[in-house]
């Protein structure tokens, strides 16, 4: 259907950056593409993602658009999948099914049906959730509502609708009993609830972040909002299989709609619900609806370039921590990256991985329009890039586009880090160099490898040495390998690993407030050999007084024992009005202004081997400004 020129202009102004093609030619495909663009763009930039409420998304393999998503404050996983197109002469529309898969330990599990609750306790539940479109029973058990995206043919108004029950409820008139080993156990008493799920309050969380993402991508606030409802029903069923729909005063069928158009102005909504009572509605110039005041769509269009502020003048250090990862071919760098990214995703952090060349990962390339940076993967908190040009321009673009929390610069196995260590200094305005981490293959003899000089330099350049594949060695061989590495590099932290797995919280945590408990630290090397803990410990030094700056720096530079390989903390220093952030890795340190408020006493977390707590307390106690030499 050909549109008048004025409508094309509106489309180009409002929707053209979401779907540059002809929306009306293939409406179903266009609406799915718009949803995909909204989700992806809102998740590209961590600062935007966090503010709107996303905590990770994953595109599922399916015939239609399908996603799983983590959303702030909800322990379970939301699912969104394409249902069908529904267009008419006034508008094009497409329906998406909305699901919620509760965490198996979540209290909300008890509000789902018995069948759904039982499904959450199966071993294959969480793996199935990630590809839920291929498991039809999951959609039936965990459905909480429907989403509709519409575009008006007359003025190109984009609308996002939600349909959800205030309660999805079913009552077992005869109760539910099971017999186990000859004993009858009542699961639901006669007349009790089999399911009593607050579907609207759950669906509202996903609806709001999708609406907020739409406002962000369009760069415009809503032009209208409405929430209507009509009486709903509960399902009553008997043991003979008969079912009956009954009205219930606690059940309502809710329909919500948020609209976006080019020139918001008071007036009627482009889309009207039928047979419903208005609960709340909003037009420009009116107070925000009470129960929807916190929805991110009211302000998301104002989220701009968070890097536009001079954060250094404000005392904010938002540089990502960069790990230079080196190691000879086959040493385990890829496995390390996989574990590292998974760990950070669980903590809502975004990781960028820069590689010298694209590996054979079978990933679809997504070229961002740059000759020196190609994005090859974006998946719940990771962007993987290929470096084909100069490092600094690539980092500038990477930080600007994605604002990662961590950057891993993975060198090729034949790279000699000694050749570029001095160049890393030039990157200080963009990144905080966390460490040079070298993977060492415990099963290979360095002297027999193709380039023994490069392997030796990789070991010498390291702040952290990960002796990988130690499960293939005896305890004595592990000790001998560690001793050899210690002779080559007396200052680096040396940790045995299996399959590149190490607890990143020990060595790479960007936030010193994340105090690691000894039991957590001792998981570093797993339980693959008798060293297990490798005598790795942590000690928190409480600082009740400000530290003399010069005395503290002299202590950091000259007095830290070799087996203390990581120090992180928040301290108060003389001549500084604000708290300071301390990061120390194997002899190299950085002291910068702490970006947030901190009113508690300072502290330092020391991580290493064979820690002497009293020695550390005394060492830093000598730095108190009240202790004058």
**Quick check: 170 pLDDT over 80?**
yes
**Quick check: 303 pLDDT over 80?**
no
**Quick check: 362 pLDDT over 50?**
no
pLDDT value at residue 199: 96
Cβ atoms of 398 and 407 closer than 8 Å: yes
pLDDT value at residue 403: 76
**Quick check: 445 pLDDT over 80?**
no
Instruction: Go through the chain and tell me how many residues it has.
Output: 629
Instruction: Measure the CA–CA gap between 65 and 86, rounded to whole angstroms.
Output: 16
Of 533, 554, 588, the residue that ends a domain is: 533
Cβ atoms of 72 and 51 closer than 8 Å: no
Q: Is residue 318 part of a domain?
A: yes
| Buried/exposed 225-239: b ≥16 CB within 10 Å, e otherwise | bbbbbeebbbebbee
Cα atoms in the 13 Å half-sphere on the side-chain side of 99: 27
Task: Specify which of 105-119, 253-267, 380-394 reaches the highest per-range mean pLDDT.
Answer: 105-119
pLDDT value at residue 596: 60
Sequence-ordered list of residues with C-beta below 8 angstroms from that of 509, at least 6 positions apart, any chain: 516, 568
332 and 260 co-located in one domain: no
Token code pair at residue 221: 């606030």
Of 269, 302, 335, the residue that ends a domain is: 302
**Quick check: 493 pLDDT over 60?**
yes
Q: Whose structure tokens read 């498991």?
A: 135
225 and 371 co-located in one domain: no
575 and 432 co-located in one domain: no
Instruction: Measure the CA–CA gap between 336 and 345, rounded to whole angstroms.
Output: 14
**Quick check: 73 pLDDT over 60?**
yes
Q: For residue 366, what are the β-bridge partners?
A: 375
Range of lowest pLDDT (1-10, 23-32, 75-84, 548-557): 1-10
Instruction: Measure the CA–CA gap between 334 and 342, rounded to whole angstroms.
Output: 12
Task: Say how many C-beta atoms besides its own lie within 10 A of residue 204's C-beta.
Answer: 21
Sequence-ordered list of residues with C-beta below 8 angstroms from that of 351, at least 6 positions apart, any chain: 340, 341, 344, 345, 381, 382, 383, 404, 405, 406, 407, 408
**Quick check: 23 pLDDT over 50?**
yes
Strand pairing category for 143-152 and 224-237: unpaired
Q: Is residue 184 part of a domain?
A: no
Where in the sequence is the domain holding 407, given as residue range(s)? 307-533
The mean pLDDT value for 603-628 works out to 83
Instruction: Measure the CA–CA gap between 326 and 463, rounded to whole angstroms.
Output: 11
340 and 207 co-located in one domain: no
Instruction: Measure the CA–CA gap between 123 and 316, rounded to whole angstroms.
Output: 44
pLDDT value at residue 510: 53
Q: Whose structure tokens read 């600094």?
A: 392
**Quick check: 516 pLDDT over 70?**
no
Q: Does 524 or 136 have the greater pLDDT score?
A: 136
Q: Is residue 507 part of a domain?
A: yes
Instruction: Measure the CA–CA gap between 64 and 84, rounded to whole angstroms.
Output: 9
Cβ atoms of 579 and 555 closer than 8 Å: no
**Quick check: 517 pLDDT over 70?**
no
Q: Does 519 or 398 have the greater pLDDT score?
A: 398
Task: Say how many C-beta atoms besides its own lie within 10 A of residue 90's C-beta.
Answer: 12
519 and 554 co-located in one domain: no
515 and 382 co-located in one domain: yes
Q: What is the DSSP string of 445-508?
A: -GGGSS-HHHHHHHHHT-SEEEEE-GGGS-HHHHHHHHHHHHHH-SSSEEEE-BTTB--HHHHT
Which among 43, 47, 45, 46 has a CA at the least distance from the CA of 57? 43
In Å, how far from its chain's centre is CA 297?
Answer: 21
Q: For residue 3, what are the β-bridge partners?
A: none
pLDDT value at residue 231: 92
The mean pLDDT value for 522-542 works out to 52
524 and 544 co-located in one domain: no
Domain count, the chain: 3
Q: For residue 171, what are the β-bridge partners?
A: 193, 236
The mean pLDDT value for 382-400 works out to 62
369 and 391 co-located in one domain: yes
Q: Is residue 176 part of a domain?
A: no
Q: Is residue 581 part of a domain?
A: yes
Token code pair at residue 568: 């992180």
pLDDT value at residue 436: 87
| Buried/exposed 452-486: b ≥16 CB within 10 Å, e otherwise | eebbbbbbebbbbbbbbbbbebeeeebeebbeebe
Instruction: Report the run of H or E that residue 440 belongs to, with start and end.
Output: strand 432-441
Range of lowest pLDDT (38-47, 297-306, 478-487, 604-613): 297-306
Range of lowest pLDDT (225-239, 308-322, 448-462, 566-580): 308-322
Between CA 146 and CA 153, with CA 147 as vertex, the angle to 5 degrees is 135
DSSP state of 121: T
Of 504, 533, 562, the residue that ends a domain is: 533
Token code pair at residue 377: 């993967």
Tell me the CA distances in angstroms from 256 to 149, 271, 279, one per residue in order.
12, 11, 10
CB-based burial label for 13 (10 Å; 0-12, 13-18, 19+): middle
Q: What is the CATH number of the domain that holds 488?
A: 3.40.50.300
Q: Is residue 238 part of a domain?
A: no
Sequence-ordered list of residues with C-beta below 8 angstroms from that of 174, at least 6 positions apart, any chain: 190, 238, 239
What phi and psi, each to the nearest 5 degrees, are found at residue 281?
Answer: -150, 160
Cβ atoms of 226 and 301 closer than 8 Å: no
| Buried/exposed 248-264: b ≥16 CB within 10 Å, e otherwise | beebbbbbbbbbbbbeb
pLDDT value at residue 340: 85
Give me the sign of the Cα torsion angle 299, 304, 307, 308. Answer: negative
Q: If pLDDT is split at 50, 70 and 90, which confidence band does 614 have? A: very high
pLDDT value at residue 367: 24
Q: If pLDDT is split at 50, 70 and 90, which confidence band does 314 have? A: very low
**Quick check: 204 pLDDT over 90?**
yes
Angle between helices 27-44 and 199-218 (to 10 degrees): 80
Cβ atoms of 403 and 350 closer than 8 Å: yes
495 and 610 co-located in one domain: no
Q: What is the mean pLDDT of the chain?
A: 78
Q: If pLDDT is split at 50, 70 and 90, which confidence band does 174 have? A: confident
326 and 266 co-located in one domain: no
> Three-class SS of residue 56?
strand
pLDDT value at residue 249: 82
Q: 63: alpha, beta or left, given left = phi > 0 and alpha = psi -120 to 50? A: alpha
Token code pair at residue 606: 């020391």
What phi and psi, each to the nearest 5 degrees, are found at residue 431?
Answer: -135, 160
**Quick check: 345 pLDDT over 90?**
no
pLDDT value at residue 520: 37
Share of the chain above pLDDT 70, in %: 78
**Quick check: 113 pLDDT over 90?**
yes
pLDDT value at residue 608: 78
Q: If pLDDT is split at 50, 70 and 90, which confidence band does 263 have? A: low
Which among 329, 258, 331, 270 has a CA at the least distance from the CA of 298? 258
Q: 493: alpha, beta or left, given left = phi > 0 and alpha = psi -120 to 50? A: beta
Sequence-ordered list of residues with C-beta below 8 angstroms from that of 561, at least 6 positions apart, any chain: 608, 615
Cβ atoms of 279 and 35 closer than 8 Å: no
Q: Is residue 175 part of a domain?
A: no
Cβ atoms of 8 and 20 closer than 8 Å: no
Q: If pLDDT is split at 50, 70 and 90, which confidence band does 154 have? A: confident
pLDDT value at residue 317: 58
Q: For residue 78, what are the β-bridge partners?
A: 69, 100
**Quick check: 423 pLDDT over 50?**
yes
What phi and psi, each to the nearest 5 degrees, are found at residue 114?
Answer: -60, -40
Q: Is residue 246 part of a domain?
A: no
Q: If pLDDT is split at 50, 70 and 90, which confidence band does 373 have? A: very low
409 and 457 co-located in one domain: yes
Task: Say how many C-beta atoms besides its own lie within 10 A of residue 429's C-beta.
Answer: 10
Q: If pLDDT is split at 50, 70 and 90, which confidence band does 417 have? A: confident
Range of lowest pLDDT (1-15, 17-31, 124-138, 391-405): 1-15
543 and 610 co-located in one domain: yes
What phi and psi, each to the nearest 5 degrees, are found at residue 201?
Answer: -65, -30
pLDDT value at residue 600: 74
């Amino acid at each position: 259907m050909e549109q008048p020129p004025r409508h094309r202009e509106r489309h180009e102004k409002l929707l053209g950056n979401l779907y540059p093609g002809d929306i009306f030619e293939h409406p179903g495909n266009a609406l799915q593409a718009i949803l995909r663009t909204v989700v992806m763009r809102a998740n590209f930039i961590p600062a935007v993602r966090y503010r709107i409420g996303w905590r990770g998304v994953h595109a599922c393999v399916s015939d239609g658009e399908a996603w799983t998503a983590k959303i702030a404050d909800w322990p379970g996983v939301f699912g969104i999948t394409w249902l069908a197109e529904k267009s008419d002469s006034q508008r094009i529309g497409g329906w998406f099914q909305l699901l919620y898969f509760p965490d198996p330990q979540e209290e909300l599990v008890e509000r789902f049906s018995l069948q759904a609750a039982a499904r959450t306790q199966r071993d294959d539940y969480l793996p199935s959730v990630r590809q839920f479109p291929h498991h039809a029973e999951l959609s039936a058990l965990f459905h909480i509502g429907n989403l509709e995206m519409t575009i008006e043919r007359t003025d190109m108004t984009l609308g996002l609708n939600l349909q959800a029950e205030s309660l999805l409820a079913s009552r077992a008139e005869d109760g539910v009993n099971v017999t186990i080993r000859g004993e009858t156990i009542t699961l639901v008493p006669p007349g009790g609830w089999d399911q009593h799920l607050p579907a609207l309050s759950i669906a509202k969380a996903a609806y709001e972040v999708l609406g907020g993402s739409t406002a962000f991508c369009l760069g415009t606030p809503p032009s209208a909002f409405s929430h209507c409802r009509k009486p709903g029903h509960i399902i009553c069923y008997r043991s003979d299989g008969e079912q009956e729909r009954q009205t219930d005063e606690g059940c309502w069928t809710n329909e919500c709609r948020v609209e976006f158009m080019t020139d918001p102005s008071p007036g009627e909504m482009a889309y009207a619900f039928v047979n419903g009572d208005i609960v709340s509605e909003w037009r420009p110039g009116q107070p925000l609806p009470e129960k929807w005041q916190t929805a991110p769509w009211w302000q998301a269009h104002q989220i701009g370039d968070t890097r536009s502020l001079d954060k250094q003048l404000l005392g904010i250090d938002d540089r990502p921590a960069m790990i230079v990862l080196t190691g000879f071919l086959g040493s385990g760098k890829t496995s390390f990256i996989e574990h590292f990214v998974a760990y950070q995703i669980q903590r809502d952090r975004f990781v960028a991985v820069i590689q010298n060349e694209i590996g054979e990962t079978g990933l679809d390339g997504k070229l961002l329009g740059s000759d020196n940076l190609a994005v090859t993967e974006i998946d719940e908190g990771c962007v993987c890039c290929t470096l084909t040009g100069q490092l600094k321009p690539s980092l500038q673009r990477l930080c600007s586009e994605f604002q990662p929390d961590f950057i891993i610069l993975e060198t090729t196995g034949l790279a000699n880090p000694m050749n570029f260590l001095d160049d890393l200094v030039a990157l200080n305005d963009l990144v905080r160099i966390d460490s040079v981490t070298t993977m060492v293959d415990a099963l290979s003899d360095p002297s027999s490898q193709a380039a023994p000089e490069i392997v030796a330099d990789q070991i010498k350049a390291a702040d952290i040495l990960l002796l990988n594949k130690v499960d293939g060695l005896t305890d004595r061989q592990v000790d001998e390998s560690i001793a050899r590495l210690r002779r080559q590099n007396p200052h680096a932290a040396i940790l045995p690993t299996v399959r590149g797995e190490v607890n990143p919280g020990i060595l790479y945590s960007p936030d010193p407030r994340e105090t690691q408990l000894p039991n957590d630290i001792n998981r570093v090397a797993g339980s693959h050999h008798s060293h297990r803990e490798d005598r790795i410990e942590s000690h928190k030094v409480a600082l009740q007084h400000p530290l003399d700056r010069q005395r503290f720096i002299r202590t950091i530079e000259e007095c830290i024992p070799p087996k203390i390989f990581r120090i992180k903390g928040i301290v108060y220093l003389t001549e500084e009005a604000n708290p300071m952030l301390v990061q120390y890795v194997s002899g190299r340190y950085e002291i910068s202004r702490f970006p947030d408020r901190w009113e508690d006493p300072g502290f330092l977390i020391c991580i290493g081997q064979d820690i002497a707590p009293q020695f550390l307390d005394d060492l830093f106690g000598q730095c108190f400004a009240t202790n004058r030499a």
